[in-house]
Amino acid sequence: MTYNSVQLSPVGWMSQLSQNEMALITDQTDTKHYQLFRNCVLAVLNSGSETDDMTSMLDKHQTFAIDLIRRERGVKVELVNPPHEVFVDGKLIKGVHEHVFAVMRDLLYVESIYPHHNTESCSGSAATDMVFDMLRHANALENNDGMNTVVCWGGHSIGHTEYQYTKEVGYQLGLRGFDICTGCGPGAMKGPMKGAAIGHAKQRIKNGRHVGLTEPSIIAAEPPNAIVNKLVILPDIEKRLEAFVRFGHAIVVFPGGVGTAEELLYLLGILLHPKNHTQEVPLILTGPEESSDYFAAIDAFVESTLGAEATQKYRIIVDDAKAVAQHISKQREVIHNHRRQNGDAYSFNWSLHIEPEFQIPFVPTHDNMANLNLQREQSPAELAANLRKVFSGIVAGNIKADTMAHIAQKGKFKLTGDATLINMVEQLLEQFISQGRMKLPGEAYEPCYEIVKNEVNSIQL
């Protein structure tokens, strides 16, 4: 069956839009806003697909278009030549229907209320206020005051055993009443949600939350999985990361590649700041027994680059899903007491101090990547910020269509710096490649970067 044209009725207040709002996202002559809206909607219409290639998805659906039609009773959304996989007996799957309007809700809100969100002026309290505002606007903060939201980070490209383990951890968390928040894609982002859904069902928890936090340039490479029941699209990776750490009450890191390394370095860089010395943020790195070498490599990299203090910020638990859930459950009261004593909100960690270096959007151009400060003569928090940008740029080069196009035109990113430091980065990246963590299983990986070693400035550790 083909669907040449399908009209959808909006949900909630989205049925009433101003002329300006309609024009903002449906004017096909406004390439920037229309293409962003179109591509994000196309991504959610590919919900459940196992892909990390945004370019091929866009090429496959070149004839897809979206329009808003004003009717007497409100606005309808018309999908032209949508993917047929998300229809059941001629009707769009309800969860996908909701995600389409989550896209509209968040993109309209950003462009209408925060037109300068990607500038340096949107840092500090302004960036935090925006993150809070978007989560509140999406009703994501509702029912988030029970100290029971666990953020799960991990790769989209993981093996079967690792995926089953993420489900088991999610199941153990679900049995204990915890909700799950992930980047909303496949692999380690899907497994914990799927496991938690079973745990919730056994405990007769009917309002379990499976929150997916994403951003426009990555959603097409990581379409929302089918378990997500609350989708929020932040405007860029930095605000997405801030949303994770302020929204969640504990964080679990599963095996992954450069994206997972970026997330871990982001949080460690924040926790290493003196103003966050007393913060209570349970952070666990976990995976099955076959992932023990992976975590040993991550632990060695963190200690060698950021120092022993950084390794004290997390606990590694191998092949024991129940112990992960039990540890987080025991910490719930500690987190609650800390928030109460500091007068902080239970649903959003306002007191966590985040430097502008972690908030200002980093655009991975060739010049910006080449000019990153990859020298040892800086504080651990500053080094974490710069290393985070290294991995963020590689993520973009691997899966983001615009960055991939720039690399195809100008060549690979060049990373340069202290020889000892850059060697450690290279070794970790090579391990990700050898373990198949850069692309989905069965796909060959061509690095989007080159390592340029500066022997003159090297420092022997």
**241: in domain:** yes
Is the pLDDT confidence value at 340 over 70? yes
pLDDT of residue 179: 98
Within 86-140, residue ranges assigned H as helices are 94-113, 125-137
Report the C-alpha gap between 60 and 443 in whole angstroms. Answer: 18
Which comes out higher in pLDDT, residue 62 or 128?
Answer: 128
pLDDT of residue 119: 59
**229: in domain:** yes
pLDDT of residue 65: 86
Contacts of 315 (CB under 8 A, 6+ apart): 283, 284, 285, 327
Instruction: Compute the chain's Rg from CA coordinates.
Output: 22
Q: Residue 417 corresponds to which tokens in the numbers above?
A: 């710096």
- Indicate the residue type of 185: G
Report the C-alpha gap between 284 and 262 in whole angstroms. Answer: 16
**118: in domain:** no
What would the mean pLDDT of 101-114 be, rounded to a whole number? 84
* Residues 371-415: tens digit of each pLDDT: 999 998 899 999 999 999 999 999 999 888 889 889 999 999 999
Residue among 185, 182, 183 nearest 51 (CA) = 185
H or E element at residue 26: helix 19-26
Structural domain count, the chain: 3
349 with 367, same domain: the answer is no
What would the mean pLDDT of 321-337 be, rounded to a whole number? 96
Is the pLDDT confidence value at 459 over 80? no
What would the mean pLDDT of 158-176 be, rounded to a whole number? 96
Looking at residue 249, the DSSP 8-state letter turns out to be: S
pLDDT of residue 456: 45
Domain edge (last residue) among 336, 356, 376: 356
- Indicate the residue type of 382: E
> Residue 122 half-sphere exposure, CB side, CA atoms within 13 Å?
20
**158: in domain:** yes
For all residues of the chain together, what is the average pLDDT?
88
348 with 382, same domain: the answer is no
297 with 157, same domain: the answer is yes
Domain edge (last residue) among 333, 356, 379: 356
100 with 157, same domain: the answer is no
E strand residue ranges, 81-184: 87-88, 91-92, 149-153, 179-182
Of the chain, the end-to-end C-alpha distance in Å amounts to 63
Is the pLDDT confidence value at 308 over 90? yes
pLDDT of residue 48: 66
Phi, psi angles (nearest 5°) of residue 198 = -70, -45
H or E element at residue 442: none
Is the pLDDT confidence value at 418 over 70? yes
> Residue 107 half-sphere exposure, CB side, CA atoms within 13 Å?
26
Q: Are 234 and 216 in contact (CB under 8 A)?
A: no
253 pLDDT tier (thresholds 50, 70, 90): very high
Report the C-alpha gap between 257 and 116 in whole angstroms. Answer: 31
CA distances to 79, 119, 120, 448 from 365, rounded to whole Å, are: 34, 16, 17, 12
CATH number at residue 336: 3.40.50.450
190 with 317, same domain: the answer is yes
Is the pLDDT confidence value at 346 over 70? yes
DSSP lists the bridge partners of residue 452 as 416
408 with 388, same domain: the answer is yes
Domain span at residue 82 reads 5-113
Residue among 333, 182, 357 nearest 254 (CA) = 182
What would the mean pLDDT of 170-180 be, rounded to a whole number? 98
Looking at residue 311, the DSSP 8-state letter turns out to be: H
CA distances to 245, 270, 309 from 242, rounded to whole Å, are: 5, 10, 22
CATH number at residue 63: 3.30.1850.10
Contacts of 334 (CB under 8 A, 6+ apart): 280
278 with 413, same domain: the answer is no
Q: Residue 248 corresponds to which tokens in the numbers above?
A: 């969640």
Is the pLDDT confidence value at 59 over 80? no
393 with 313, same domain: the answer is no
**319: in domain:** yes
**121: in domain:** no
Report the C-alpha gap between 125 and 200 in whole angstroms. Answer: 36
221 pLDDT tier (thresholds 50, 70, 90): confident
Phi, psi angles (nearest 5°) of residue 11 = -110, 145
Residue length of the chain? 461
70 with 96, same domain: the answer is yes
Q: Are 447 and 437 in contact (CB under 8 A)?
A: no
Contacts of 234 (CB under 8 A, 6+ apart): 106, 131, 134, 213, 214, 215, 240, 243
349 with 391, same domain: the answer is no
H or E element at residue 362: none
**27: in domain:** yes
Domain edge (last residue) among 318, 338, 356: 356
The Cα angle at residue 191 between residues 441 and 434, in degrees rounded to 5? 30
Is the pLDDT confidence value at 341 over 70? yes
Report the C-alpha gap between 351 and 348 in whole angstroms. Answer: 9
Is the pLDDT confidence value at 19 over 80? no
Q: Residue 429 corresponds to which tokens in the numbers above?
A: 């990246």
390 with 305, same domain: the answer is no
* 116: exposed, middle or buried (Cβ count in 10 Å: 0-12, 13-18, 19+): exposed
143 with 275, same domain: the answer is yes
DSSP lists the bridge partners of residue 451 as 415
SS3 state at 36: helix
CA distances to 114, 158, 386 from 302, rounded to whole Å, are: 36, 22, 13
Report the C-alpha gap between 241 and 266 in whole angstroms. Answer: 8
**413: in domain:** yes
Looking at residue 252, the DSSP 8-state letter turns out to be: E
Report the C-alpha gap between 191 and 362 in whole angstroms. Answer: 29
Report the C-alpha gap between 188 and 428 in whole angstroms. Answer: 20
